[in-house]
Amino acid sequence: MDTFADAMGDRFCEGMRLLDYGCGSGRFGAYMAARLKDFRYWGFDLPEPVSRWRKEQAALDLDSRYEGFYPLHQIEKTTAIADATDVLLLSILTHLSHGALFSILARVLPILSRGGYMHASLFLGDRPALYAAKNYGEDGLPVYWRRVVYTEDAFEEACTSLGLVWKRTGKWIKKWEQVIVSIRRGP
């Protein structure tokens, strides 16, 4: 999480209002809570895990800085789009299809239109690719995952078509390059 917070630069600060799109268990929200006193956090993910995380959140008695966990399809029914200053796409772009990139960027565009930023991690390579694999979880059951690799040109085209500009702000090196980017509305 430190790598990602560092890549966010001065955007990771007191007063931050973060919409975490594809939040998983809300780990980044917990990371924020350990480092910031004044922030708001909305977590969005698939419906099934969200119901479990809501129960975990209630059990932890998280304070009012957490606005809550919601299913992805309820994003427009919350105040997150109107109130957030930043959007986090920590790993969601590494798992979705190439076609989902444009719709995700368009969905959070109102936040960027107000001067906010989107912070994302994604894999960039010299050609588009989809890798799939099967691992086994602690319970011995199979866990399927996939990695989507975008070309830099395709990512640039998706951003440009929405009037967005992006820059690399960090990276991890693996078989292909996983980069962290910050995206904002163009001039």
Contact between 164 and 184 under an 8 Å Cβ cutoff? The reply is yes
* HEC letters along the chain: CHHHHHHHHHHCCCCEEEEEECCCCCHHHHHHHHHCCCEEEEEEECHHHHHHHHHHHHHHCCCCCEEEEEEHHHHHHCCHHHHCCEEEECCHHHHCCCCHHHHHHHHCHHHHHCCCEEEEEEEEECCCEEEEEEEECCCCCEEEEEEEEEEHHHHHHHHHHCCEEEEEEEEEECCCEEEEEEEEECC
Q: What pLDDT score was predicted for residue 158?
A: 85
Q: What pLDDT score was predicted for residue 187?
A: 64
Q: What pLDDT score was predicted for residue 173?
A: 53
CATH topology of domain 2-122+151-185: Rossmann fold (3.40.50)
Q: What pLDDT score was predicted for residue 61?
A: 52
Q: What pLDDT score was predicted for residue 13?
A: 94
- Average pLDDT per 10 consecutive residues for the chain, totaling 187 residues: 86 92 82 89 76 57 68 79 86 75 81 83 76 62 66 86 84 64 79
Q: What pLDDT score was predicted for residue 45?
A: 82
